[in-house]
Amino acid sequence: MNFLESIKMAFASLAINKLRSFLTMLGIIIGISAVITITTIGNSISKTLSSTFDQIGEVKLTIFPEIREDYNGRVMEDDDTLTLEMVQDLISQHPGELTYSCNELYGGADIVNLKGESFKAIMIGVSGDYFDPPQFKKQIVQGRAPSNADNEGMKHTCIVSDYFCEQYFGTTENVLGKTIRFEMMKEANINLTIVGVMEYTELEKNSLKINTAKSKLDVKTFVYFPYNTMLSAKGVSPRETKLSSAQIGWTGDCDSETAKEYIKDYFEPIYRNNEIWYLEIYDQQEEMGMITTVLNVITIAISVIAAISLIVGGVGVMNIMLVSILERTREIGVRKALGALNGDIRSQFVIEAVIICLTGGAIGVLIGVLNGILLSKVAAFLLNSFAAEYAEYINLSVQPSIPAIIISLVFSMLTGLIFGYYPAKRAGNMNPIDALRYE
């Protein structure tokens, strides 16, 4: 008997006892579906986190002074601080490879709009590269952000929000190129020309209480202008400017690991003899990688536990195969009397066991993927119902694990081979005379 004939006979045998065949597969189906559901959830969470971080996160390194041990009453001194001059010097040593961005609160400003009404804004000085991350590019709806040229030339440019335009002009149309005076509470007053307008996301609107404010004039929005313009207005130089942190980016000629090495090489001599403080490099992508690793370990651990049910399913397959052999003893005797070899009988029953397990595995994979899709729909519904302000940032995606599917099907086949071999061997070793006499 050839291999194809054995497969046909196996399916014919399963079709005779459909309910029993399904109940035999049930343990395999439950085990495989549990594994695929868990791996699909874990993989989907990892992909969702990754895409969400890519959308709202800055692909930059953040550097800042960090303490080595307990303070012990020690406060930060001049030798401990990170300065703008240091950052600019680092960038100048690697032109075309590194970029930097920083921001600093200039203060609150009073503005009188075209109707003579007063409202307030929050002034923030930023370097040109501050607007590189995707979330700012996505939000800019008119014009541009203050550029590096604006920063180096200490230009009096700014980017405001669409909401600010409504507060000041009563409209968002024809606002580019208009100059506004900002009366500062503590710092020097300053006139700035609008070169860009950005649109707030729902998350930012909720954070600024735009959606719940009783009056439009009660909301304080952000106005961004060049960092060096802010320093000039304060009357300070980069040498005197201390930073709490700075963001270091890189171009296509560099990468994050090389950027880290450049940063370490530059700051290691500066902080080498500092017993309390050192320069910390925070890599958001590295943190994302750690989170993904933890999720993968948890997913694998739970999947292994769920896979234990496959052993129970395999025992069920062995039990049913033994019962099937007893029921088909006379059939075995007839086939042996007609010249079937022990190996032919063995292979027939092994193939039947493998087909049972593979069919159950395929059904389990399908159920597991459908479970993942269903859970993603439920998660999306809950997100939109109870946290709508975060929905635009979270890209829910269903990502079944292809390796997990392949491994599950292979494991199903191995379960059939292992647990079907003993009954098949027993059938193959039957004495044909005893088998024909069996009632």
Please list the helix, strand and coil fractions of the chain in percent, rounded to the nearest 5, in that order: 60, 15, 25
**pLDDT at site 235:** 85
Find out whether 405 and 365 touch, Cβ atoms under 8 Å. yes
Burial of 158: CB neighbours in 10 Å, binned 0-12, 13-18, 19+:
buried
Instruction: Annotate 231-269 with b (16+ C-beta within 10 A) or e (fewer).
Output: bbbbeeebeebbbeebbbbbeeebebeebbebbeebbee
Dihedral pair phi/psi, residue 13, rounded to 5°:
-65, -40
Average pLDDT over residues 314-328: 78
Find out whether 91 and 152 touch, Cβ atoms under 8 Å. no
Burial of 396: CB neighbours in 10 Å, binned 0-12, 13-18, 19+:
middle
Q: Got the DSSP string for 24-88?
A: HHHHHHHHHHHHHHHHHHHHHHHHHHHHHHHHHS-SSEEEEEEESS--TTPPP-GGG-EEHHHHH
* pLDDT tier at 249, thresholds 50, 70, 90: confident
Query: ∠386-390-391 over CA atoms, to 5°?
Result: 80
Query: ∠357-362-366 over CA atoms, to 5°?
Result: 145
SS3 300: helix
The CA–CA distances, whole Å, from 313 to 96, 113, 238, 332, 357 equal: 61, 75, 71, 26, 9
Burial of 78: CB neighbours in 10 Å, binned 0-12, 13-18, 19+:
exposed
Q: Give 80-116 pLDDT, tens digit per residue.
A: 788 888 888 898 898 888 888 888 889 899 999 999 9
H runs (alpha helix) in 77-144: 84-93, 134-139
Percent of the chain with pLDDT over 70: 85
**pLDDT at site 424:** 78
Q: Which of 47-51, 197-201, 221-225, 350-354 has the highest mean pLDDT?
A: 221-225
Q: Give 358-412 pLDDT, tens digit per residue.
A: 888 899 889 988 888 888 778 777 766 665 555 555 666 677 878 888 888 888 8
**Mean pLDDT computed over every residue of the chain:** 80
Average pLDDT over residues 238-264: 83
Find out whether 364 and 40 touch, Cβ atoms under 8 Å. no
**pLDDT at site 304:** 75
Average pLDDT over residues 239-268: 84
**pLDDT at site 134:** 54
**pLDDT at site 44:** 76
Q: Give 177-207 pLDDT, tens digit per residue.
A: 999 999 988 788 999 999 999 988 776 777 7
Query: ∠339-350-368 over CA atoms, to 5°?
Result: 155
pTM of the predicted protein model? 0.62
Measured distance CA(55)–CA(175) in Å, rounded: 28
pLDDT surpasses 90 at 6 = no
H runs (alpha helix) in 125-248: 134-139, 148-152, 162-168, 202-207, 227-234
* pLDDT tier at 56, thresholds 50, 70, 90: low
Q: Give 138-168 pLDDT, tens digit per residue.
A: 688 899 989 888 988 899 999 999 999 999 9
